[in-house]
Amino acid sequence: MFVIMIYDVGERRVAKMLKTGRKYLNWVQNSVLEGELSEGLLAKLKAEVKQKIDHESDSVIFYTWRSERYTARDVIGIEKNELALIV
C-alpha cells in the first residue's frame, strides 16, 4: 500500500521522528514522508511512532491508499486540524 506520513512533534523529537520514518519511507519535505509499505511494516512503523511521541502534544497522521478509489486516515496523538481530505 502507498503511505504518506505527516508529523508535527516537539522540537526535541523532530530528528527522532525523521530517523524513524526514514527507516520505512522516503523523505519528501519537512515533516512529510511517503512510500510503499506492506501492512506488517506499516504496523511496525506505527508502533515505533507511538513509543516516540508525546501523546499530549504531538500529532502524526498516516494516509494510506489500498487502491486508487479508497483512502484511510489514522491519527496518532492529538488531531491538529480536522480536515478530511488532502487538497
**Res. 73 pLDDT band, cuts 50 70 90:** low
Q: Which CATH class is domain 2-70+77-86?
A: alpha beta
Residues 42-65 have pLDDT tens digits of 999 999 999 999 999 999 999 998
Residue at grid coordinates 511512532: 49
CB–CB of 49/60 below 8 Å?
Answer: yes
The β-bridge relationship of strands 71-77 and 59-65 is: antiparallel
74 is in an annotated binding site: no
The predicted model scores a pTM of 0.77
Closest by CA position to 49, among listed 4, 2, 9: 9
Map out the domains of the chain as residue ranges: 2-70+77-86
